């Protein structure tokens, strides 16, 4: 899955969108997840794998941040991961940090914010030795459903390869 934009439509990768301290309030709680992940990134792959999982999200630092604890049920075995999000009131940007139990360290933050029910976050990273820009796109569908999408670009936003989507459905029961 990919999308191509004209240069005028390509988002600014220099200044990510700003947000508000309440942007992630919709996400607090327990979630069942359905992941759709591209098997090979930036190699022209069209093979996807689907798997489930759960996520539990809570506020930290008096609401200036939040933390989610995740179980991802890959076909090859489950693993744990966490996301720490912090809000900087001066810049009005959120920083999103991914922590994966399979690897040591914390990935560079994704930075951005929400405009209504849509959030955009960007970071520059290196994937398989190649510089890429990573985009997270959040969409709040309603009080019990939201969607997250990850995409990579090697041409500063003219073309994006969507390589992972997650559908979230709120759970009435604790998931962890």
Q: Tell me, yes or no, if the pTM score tops 0.85.
A: yes
Assess if residue 176 is contained within a domain. no
Assess if residue 175 is contained within a domain. no
Q: How many domains does the chain contain in total? A: 1
Assess if residue 53 is contained within a domain. yes
**130 pLDDT exceeds 50?**
yes
CATH code for the domain of 77: 2.40.128.20
Q: Which domain holds residue 57?
A: 2-170
| Mean pLDDT, the chain, whole residue set | 91
Q: What is the dihedral of CA 146, 164, 149, 103, to 10 degrees?
A: 90
Residue located via tokens 């220099």? 14
Assess if residue 103 is contained within a domain. yes
Assess if residue 140 is contained within a domain. yes
Give the pLDDT confidence of 153-173 residue by residue, as tens digits: 999 888 999 999 999 999 999
Give the pLDDT confidence of 70-113 residue by residue, as tens digits: 999 999 999 999 999 999 999 999 999 999 999 988 888 999 99
Residue located via tokens 């098997």? 39
Taking the C-alpha atoms of residue 23 and residue 157, their distance in angstroms, rounded to an integer, is: 24
- What confidence category does residue 115 fall into, taking pLDDT thresholds of 50, 70 and 90? very high
Number of Cα atoms under 13 Å in the Cβ half of residue 126: 3
Assess if residue 34 is contained within a domain. yes
Give the pLDDT confidence of 25-55 residue by residue, as tens digits: 999 999 999 999 999 999 999 999 999 999 9
Q: Among residues of the chain, what percentage have pLDDT more than 70?
A: 91
């Amino acid at each position: 899955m990919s999308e191509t934009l004209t240069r005028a439509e390509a988002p600014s990768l220099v200044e990510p969108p700003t947000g508000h301290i309440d942007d992630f309030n919709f996400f607090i709680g327990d979630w069942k997840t359905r992941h759709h992940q591209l098997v090979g990134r930036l190699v022209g792959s069209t093979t996807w794998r689907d798997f489930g999982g759960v996520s539990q999200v809570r506020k930290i630092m008096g609401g200036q941040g939040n933390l989610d604890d995740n179980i991802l049920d890959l076909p090859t075995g489950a693993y744990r991961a966490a996301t720490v999000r912090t809000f900087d009131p001066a810049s009005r940007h959120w920083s999103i940090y991914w922590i994966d139990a399979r690897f040591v360290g914390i990935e560079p933050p994704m930075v951005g914010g929400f405009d209504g029910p849509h959030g955009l976050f960007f970071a520059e990273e290196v994937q398989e030795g190649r510089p890429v820009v990573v985009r997270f796109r959040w969409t709040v569908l309603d009080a019990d459903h939201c969607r997250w999408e990850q995409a990579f670009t090697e041409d500063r936003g003219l073309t994006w390869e969507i390589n992972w989507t997650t559908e979230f459905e709120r759970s009435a029961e604790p998931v962890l």
